[in-house]
Structure 1
Amino acid sequence: MAKTDVALKRTDTIVNELERLHEEISRRAYELFENNGTSSDPIGDWLNAERELIWSPAIEVRQKDSQFEVLAATPGVEAKDLDVQITPNDLLIKADVKHSHATDGGTVCTSDFTGGKLFRSVHFPEAVDPNSVKVEYRNGLLHLTAAIAKVRPTKVDIKAA
C-alpha cells in the first residue's frame, strides 16, 4: 500500500483539547457513579468512562540523531480522518473511528473492533521545531518525524546598580 501524507496542524497548545476530554470523561464517570449507588468504585468508574469514550493507539517514541520519530498504530483509520496537531512540546492525534457490523443476516458472536474517539497525546522529552515535522501514513501506521529544536543562546545585559 502506498504511503499517504496526513494533514498537520501547528498550534500553540493542546491544553483546551485535553480539558475538553477530561470534562467529558468526568461527566460520564459521574453518571456511572450515580448509577452504581453505594457500591460504586470512583476509580473504576473513571477508568470505565475512559474505556467507553476513547481508545488510545499504541505508540513508540524514539530519539534518533537530532529528531524524534513517533509511530502510532491506527488500524482501520483513513488518513483523511486523522487530526494531527503539533506544538513545540506536544503531539496530539485524534480521529472519529466508525465501526459497524456487516448486515448480511449473520450474528456477531465476538468483536474486538473499536469505534469511537481515538485520542492520544505525546509530550516530547525536548522541544521540537513544529515547522520541521513530516507525517505520513501507511498500512495503519502513522509515522511522524520532528527535528529537535535548536537552542540559541541569548545574551543578557547586566546593568550595574
Structure 2
Amino acid sequence: MALIRWQPFRDIERLEPFGEIDTLQRQMNRLFDRLMPTDGGESMSFAFTPAAELEETEDAIHLKLEVPGLEKQDFNIEATSESISISGERKSETKTEENGVTRSEFRYGKFQRVIPLPSQIQNDKVQAEYQNGILRLTLPKAESEKHKTVKINLG
C-alpha cells in the first residue's frame, strides 16, 4: 500500500496547481462577486431586510422595525386585518474621494416586509411613529379578537 501525501493546494491526480481548497476558494469568490457590488456600492443584487420585533398584548399588537437612515416619507405602510406590509428604500449617498478609497458595508436599496399577524386588527386605527431609526406600529385588535374564547375538547 502506497502512502500519498495530501496536499490541499495541489490536485495530485491531475497534477494541477488547483487543489481542493483553491477550488473552494474560487467558488466562494464567485458567489460573493454575484452578491456584492464591485462598482463602489451603486448596485446591489439583493435588498436588505430590516429586523422586526412583534409583541402581542390583550388590546393590541406592537410591531417595531429597525430601519435607520430613512426619512418618514421613505416608507409605504399598508395594513389589512390579517397582515401588515412595510416597504421603502434606503438610497445610497454617492461619495467620491480623489486621494483615498471609500469602503462601505452599509446596505442600500429597496426593502419590503409583509408580516402576518397573529390576530385580526382594526386596520383603519393603526398608529405609526418613526424615531431614532425605529419604526413603531400600534395595531389595535379587532373587537371580536379581544374577548375570543375557544373551547378545547379532550379527545
Q: Judging changes above 3 Å, is the alpha-carbon distance between structure 1 residues 134 and 89 closer, same or farther for their aligned structure 2 residues?
A: same
Q: Percent identity of the aligned residues?
A: 26
Shift of 1:54: 2.0
Q: Where does residue 107 of structure 1 map in the other structure?
A: 101
Choose from 121, 130, 133 the match for 1:128.
121
Alignment of 1:1-161 (within 5 A): 52-105=45-98, 106-108=100-102, 110-151=103-144
- Aligned-partner Cα distance in 2 for 1:71–1:52: 26
Instruction: Point out the structure with the larger helix share.
Output: 1
Aligned partners of 2:118 and 2:78: how far apart in 1?
A: 17
**Stretches of 4+ aligned residues off by more than 4 angstroms:** none
1:121 alignment partner AA: V
Structure 2 counterpart of 1:141, one-letter code: I
- Displacement after TM superposition at 1:55 (Å): 1.4
Deviation digits for residues 56-99 of structure 1 (CA, Å, limit 9, x no counterpart): 10000001231000000001111111111111011111112211
Q: Deviation digits for residues 90-127 of structure 1, max 9, x if unmatched?
A: 1111112211342243311x321111111111100011
Distance 1:82 1:138 in 2: 13
CA apart distance, 1:142: 0.2
Structure 2: 5+ residue stretches without partners = 1-26, 36-43, 146-155
Determine the C-alpha separation between the residues in 2 that align with 1:94 and 1:129.
Answer: 20
TM-score, normalised on structure 1?
0.59
Amino acid of the structure 2 residue aligned with 1:56:
T
TM-score normalized by structure 2? 0.61
Aligned residue pairs total 104
Cα distance in 2 for partners of 1:98, 1:66 equals 36
State the structure with more CA Rg.
2
